[in-house]
Amino acid sequence: MATGLSHDQVAEILRDLTSEKVLIRRQIDTLLACPRCRNVSTVLKLKCTNCGETSLRTGTVIEHIPCGYVDFSEKFYDEDRLRCPKCRKTMKALGVDYRKPGSYYRCQSCGEVTPVPARIAHCERCGKAYDLDELDEIEVYAYQLNPEKRGELDKLFLDLDDIASRLMEKNLFANSSVRVKGKSGEEHLFSLIIRDPDPSENDPTFVDIFTSDKLIDETRVLYFYTKCLDMESANNMFVAVPGLLPLAGALARSYKINIVETSRFEEIADKIFQAIKKFIEKETERSMSHGEEQLQITPK
Ligand SMILES: [Zn+2]
Ligand SMILES: [Zn+2]
Ligand SMILES: [Zn+2]
C-alpha cells in the first residue's frame, strides 16, 4: 500500500476507524514474527540440541540394545547380516537385541541422534536465529467497510464546508449540513442551503449531495423530493456523484429538481454555481416578463 504513511500510522488510522465502527475488522491470521524487526518471513531450520549446528540428516535408525548404539540402518548392514558398527557384534533378531525406533535425525557435526531436533526461526533481515517461543505473535486482520457508515464516510471525504466557502467566494450565501424543520414538523438535513445575497431575489436553494461508487438510483431522488416537498421549496438541487441512473434522472427532471452530475469532488462547487446561476437568470427573466405583463395591464 503506497500511502506515504508509516506502518504505525496506518495501523493507528485503521484502529481509529475500527473504533468509530467505520471499518469492521475480522482476524484472519496469527503470524510469527522476528521479535527484533517484526519480519514475518523467517525461515524455519532444524537445530541439533547438542551442539546447535543446523546440518542434520534424517533416516530410519537401528538401536543395538546391548550396547545402546543408535545409527542409520545402512551403517549396520554387513553383507547379508546386521552388525553393530560400534561393538562389532552380529545382531540376531528384531525386538531381541535390536530395534527400529523409526525416523531420527543425526547431526552432521557432532553425531547426536535425536527423534525431535530443535526448530529455530532464522530472520534473514537481521541475520539472527530465534527459538520459536521467542517469536512475536502478530494478529492479522481483514478490514471491511461498514455499510451502515457509508454515508458518514462519504461526508468524511466530501468537505461540505469547503464547498460552502467556495460558493461564498462566488457571492452566494451557503450553509453546509443544515437541519431545517419542514411543514410536517419533521427535521431534515440538507447538504447545503444556498441563498442569493439579495434576499428579495430568490428563495433558498436546497441542495443534497449524494456520493456513491456507482450511478445513483431513483430511491435517493425520491427521498430528496419528499424532503423538498416538506420544505415547500421551489429551488431544489440534487448533486449526484458520479451521476444518476437514467430512470433517476427522468424522475428528477419530472419533479423539476435541478440535477448536477460530476464524478469529481473538486468540481462540485463550480458545477453548483453554474447551475444556480442558470436558474437565477431564469427567475430574473420570469419576474421581468411578469413585470411586462403588469405594465400591459396597468393602462387598462
Ligand atoms: Zn529480524
Ligand atoms: Zn550436533
Ligand atoms: Zn553395539
What is the average pLDDT across 253-266? 92
Domains and CATH numbers, the chain: 7-34+135-148 (no CATH), 49-116 (no CATH), 158-290 (3.40.1350.10)
- pLDDT score recorded for residue 154: 62
- pLDDT score recorded for residue 208: 95
Contact in structure between 42 and 32 (CB atoms under 8 Å): yes
Residue type, position 92, single letter: K
106-117 pLDDT tens trace: 999 998 989 899
The H or E element spanning position 12 is: helix 7-19
* Closest alpha carbon to 195 in 220, 183, 181, 178: 178
Residues of the chain with pLDDT > 70, as a percent, come to 88
State the distance from the centre of ligand 2 to the C-alpha of 96, rounded, in angstroms.
Answer: 30
**Structure pTM?**
0.48
DSSP class of residue 75 equals G
How many helices and strands in the chain, by DSSP H and E?
Answer: 6, 16
State the distance from the centre of ligand 1 to the C-alpha of 121, rounded, in angstroms.
Answer: 10
* Closest alpha carbon to 192 in 168, 156, 170: 168
Cα distance between residue 93 and residue 67, in whole Å: 15
State the distance from the centre of ligand 3 to the C-alpha of 66, rounded, in angstroms.
Answer: 6
Q: DSSP string covering 76-143, please?
A: GEETTEEB-TTT-PBP--BTTTEEEEEEEEEETTT--EESS-EEEEEETTTTEEEEGGGSEEEEEEEE
40-65 pLDDT tens trace: 999 999 999 999 999 999 999 999 99
SS3 246: helix
* Closest alpha carbon to 196 in 271, 129, 253, 279: 279
227-252 pLDDT tens trace: 999 999 989 999 999 999 999 999 99
Strand partners, 74: none
Contact in structure between 87 and 96 (CB atoms under 8 Å): no
Residue 1, number of CB atoms within 10 A of its CB: 6
State the distance from the centre of ligand 2 to the C-alpha of 131, rounded, in angstroms.
Answer: 16
Cα distance between residue 145 and residue 95, in whole Å: 65
Cα distance between residue 129 and residue 124, in whole Å: 9
Which bound ligand lies closest to the C-alpha atom of 62?
3
State the distance from the centre of ligand 1 to the C-alpha of 135, rounded, in angstroms.
Answer: 10
pLDDT band for 13, please (50, 70, 90 cuts). confident
State the distance from the centre of ligand 3 to the C-alpha of 61, rounded, in angstroms.
Answer: 13
State the distance from the centre of ligand 3 to the C-alpha of 94, rounded, in angstroms.
Answer: 14
pLDDT band for 298, please (50, 70, 90 cuts). very low
